[in-house]
Structure 1
Amino acid sequence: MTGSKVMARVGGVLYLVVLVLLVGGAPRASGTVHGVGALLAASLLVGVLRRAPRMALAMTVFGSTAVVVFVPGPVAASTSASYQGQFLPYLAVDLVLGFIVATSTRRASIVAVAISFTVQILLTAGFAHGDNVTVNGVIAFLAMAASCMVGLLSRERREHTVALRSQEVAEAVTAERLRIARELHDMVAHSIGIIAIQAGVGSRVIETQPAEAREALRAIEATSRETLSGLRRTLVALRQADLGATASGQAPLAPSPGLADIERLAAATADAGVRVDVRRSGEQRPLPTDIDLSAYRIVQEALTNVVRHAGTGHCRVTIGYGDEELSVEVVDDGRGATGNGSAHGFGIVGMRERVGLLHGRLSAGPRPEGGFRVAARLPLPEPVGVPVEAR
């Protein structure tokens, strides 16, 4: 038997003992004393209330009724003041009733309210005298209504909190799914595009130009290994419960790519047949990880679109390190957007989502002079300045 069960049973027994003492052990006490005593005695039923609310309600109804019915007649009839606290024990019933309304089902709450209301009205009508009948009846009704309203408000507040928590969890899951979809699309689409092009080149020259075929196969191998490493990093990150869950004995994961890897990305794109001119301006400095990764993925996706859709052998990547924002631009002189809108597929959507999460701006579309342009501006956090003491 657990400790809570023992405490509940001990509290129930003590409550009954106190009721016996109140009814039979204090024959000369007033109704107010009996009422206050019975109300305080109900605090012994806290353990029962938490484990079995309906049992606690039954015990408080029984105990309160016993105090009202068995208050000694001669003392109770001696003065009208004796009746003023006679029905105080039913406040304990109202408190238990409010707890039931707040925590139990609607049907159980209705049954509990009906039983409590019936008992209180019948006892008030039977044991109050004169004008006290109406006054005590109204007070009993108002006390019960107040406890039920508090219980309903508590119930609605709890349900609202649960609904908000569920909504937050659903939104977090959706955001995580979108993040994973963006990451997988940006990482896999670029690599698969390069692999497909290199495989096509290799299949065409394998007999006439073996050296070129070997270079294509090497590019396919390097790109495949890089993609597998990225997939492994993503899958392991998904399996980790927290940042400290990197299992002992596992090989450390490669860091996420950033703008420092743009030259390597340009070289891989050049192997696919598109020469990339990388230009940088401004003071190059370390960037926050989320901005660095997002800028890299935007360039990667833009280069993927150039390789797959532009039909050109050249493009330009410009990275500007400003004081307040980072600018990234990818421009080509190809055929611009295709007729079926392939340049505006999930890649452009993913770019907009990444830029939107960082409160930046993105523009992507055909250029008037021909070709396609992708430009993103990502706000940078303010640098932490070192205060200089005035002399």
Structure 2
Amino acid sequence: MPVPASMPSAPDPPLMQRLPRAARAAVTGCMVAVPALLLYAAIAGGAEPSHAPAAEGAALAAVAVAVAAVVMAAPLAWARSRPSAALGLLLAEAAASTAAGLRAEQVWPLFPVTGLLAAAVAAARTPRAGLVAALATGAVQETVLQVDLFRDGGWGRVLAPGFIGLTACLALLVMLAWLSGTYVRQRRAYGEALRSHAATRAVTAERLRIAREIHDLVAHGIGVIAIQAGAGKRVIDSEPERARGALTAIETTSRETLRGLRTMLVILRRTEPESASVAEAEPFLGLAALDRLVTTTADAGVHVEVRHCGARRELAEAVDRSAIRIIQESLTNVVRHANAGHCRVTVDWGLDELSVEIVDDGPDTHTQDTKAPLPEAEPGTGYGIRGMQERVALLAGDFTAGPRPEGGFRVAARFPLPTTGAR
């Protein structure tokens, strides 16, 4: 049995979390320093000319403006971890600056910064939080602009066509920021849903694979043991030698089944792939073990005739394993259900496909019909034919099973062979 495939890995952490601490500190410093420089230039450049004669007064004013710019940009240090709080503080600063008499062109760096923070909130928080952040950002920005325009020229300036267009552009930019953040959030949620779905499918596929392996491994051995136990019980007094042979077959089959179960448990408990092969420890791993499978079936009282058509060659591991498992399960059904004394196994080694056919001469006592879809099985029903169907379907092959008109049951599977026959 192959080593189970690893589960889908967790998504990589964000870029900032993968950076060293010093690099993250440098990025955060730039996030504060660049807006602070822009604010300093905007506030100083938009101030009214001062009539203070002393150069010392100008120097003090420049220091005060620099300090104010740094304080106003300081909330950006928490933009990555607390974008909502940083956005609220910056919007409050913009409103307070307007109330203090600063013009809109003196606080314009806050406009793109708050727009980006609104996008960050929409991307990282709930849809309602993102919408509230966008509406608050648009309201504050429009208020700052309209108040500044009204102070300069009243309603005539506010309603001027050029400034109406500026107002519309400002609202449009905020809307675009909100849409961008919403898109990022939806893409992230979609990616998480895909990963969750992939993980669920992987778990389901692995459970089905384990169920098939356990069924194929145990069903044949238990079937042979049950037949031999019944035969030995009937002849234990009259024919001790036959009873002794039945007990020998039971011992051999039970040891092989137990060895296969132990091998499977070792593989399932393995946390990392190992180079050591377990092929020798698992019974009936490929078509090379067909003769041994025929012998154990004969011990259960069913004569098996094997026919090979075409030149034998090395097969891909998945095809080799599935072929022997289908033959094994079919022979198990013959032993347990068909009440047949003879069975024929045909292996056709074609150029581009491998075909196997199992035919018995017993009455039609098989209980499942593969023409119908595969509903969820109820407790107590068999899984053998369903497992064979799943194995063939995984390899893009064809599978049929059903009673023959002349009597008995027929199972046939066809596997397309890859261009490279290497394992």
**TM-score interval, smaller chain:** 0.7 to 0.9
Structure-2 residue corresponding to 1:123: 144
Q: Which amino acid aligns with 1:236?
A: V
Residue 54 (structure 1) aligned with residue 84 (structure 2): yes
Structure-1 residue corresponding to 2:126: 105
Indicate which of 197, 208, 222 corresponds to 2:252: 222
- 8 Å Cα contact 1:128/1:136 also seen in 2: no
CA separation in 1, counterparts of 2:214 and 2:360?
Answer: 24
Structure-2 residue corresponding to 1:371: 408
Q: Which amino acid aligns with 1:121?
A: E
CA separation in 2, counterparts of 1:251 and 1:257?
Answer: 10
- 8 Å Cα contact 1:366/1:372 also seen in 2: yes
1 or 2 for the larger relative contact order (CA 8 Å, sep ≥6)? Answer: 2
CA separation in 2, counterparts of 1:194 and 1:42?
Answer: 83
Residue 309 (structure 1) aligned with residue 330 (structure 2): no
Q: Which amino acid aligns with 1:104?
A: R
Q: Which amino acid aligns with 1:109?
A: G
- 8 Å Cα contact 2:33/2:73 also seen in 1: no
- Once the two structures are superposed, residues 325-366 of structure 1 have per-residue CA deviations (whole angstroms, 9 ceiling, x without a partner) of 10101111100244xx25764111111111111111111111
- 8 Å Cα contact 1:11/1:44 also seen in 2: no
- SS in structure 2 of the partner of residue 126 of structure 1: helix
Indicate which of 263, 279, 301 corresponds to 1:273: 301
Please tell me the root mean square deviation across aligned C-alpha atoms, in Å: 3.5
- 8 Å Cα contact 1:69/1:127 also seen in 2: no
Q: Which amino acid aligns with 1:323?
A: L
Structure-2 residue corresponding to 1:212: 242
Residue 197 (structure 1) aligned with residue 227 (structure 2): yes
- SS in structure 1 of the partner of residue 281 of structure 2: coil
- Once the two structures are superposed, residues 246-272 of structure 1 have per-residue CA deviations (whole angstroms, 9 ceiling, x without a partner) of 7xxx99862561001011001000111
Structure-2 residue corresponding to 1:254: 281
Structure-1 residue corresponding to 2:59: none
Structure-1 residue corresponding to 2:364: 336
CA separation in 1, counterparts of 2:313 and 2:148?
Answer: 86
TM-score, normalisation: structure 2: 0.75
Q: Decide which moves more: 287-296 or 89-98.
A: 89-98
Structure-1 residue corresponding to 2:323: 295
Indicate which of 179, 185, 204 corresponds to 1:149: 179
Q: State percent identity of aligned pairs.
A: 43
CA separation in 2, counterparts of 1:43 and 1:369?
Answer: 90
Structure-2 residue corresponding to 1:169: 199
- 8 Å Cα contact 1:359/1:379 also seen in 2: yes
Q: CA deviation at 1:240?
A: 2.4
Alignment of 1:39-118 (within 5 A): 48-62=78-92, 64-65=94-95, 87=108, 89-118=110-139
- SS in structure 2 of the partner of residue 257 of structure 1: coil
- 8 Å Cα contact 2:315/2:421 also seen in 1: no
Q: Which amino acid aligns with 1:117?
A: G
Q: Which amino acid aligns with 2:348?
A: G
Residue 181 (structure 1) aligned with residue 211 (structure 2): yes
- SS in structure 2 of the partner of residue 336 of structure 1: coil
Structure-1 residue corresponding to 2:13: none
Number of positions where the alignment pairs a residue of Structure 1 with one of Structure 2 = 363
Structure-1 residue corresponding to 2:10: none
CA separation in 1, counterparts of 2:421 and 2:207?
Answer: 33
CA separation in 2, counterparts of 1:147 and 1:270?
Answer: 76
Structure-2 residue corresponding to 1:21: 40
Q: CA deviation at 1:62?
A: 4.5
CA separation in 1, counterparts of 2:205 and 2:354?
Answer: 24
Residue 355 (structure 1) aligned with residue 355 (structure 2): no
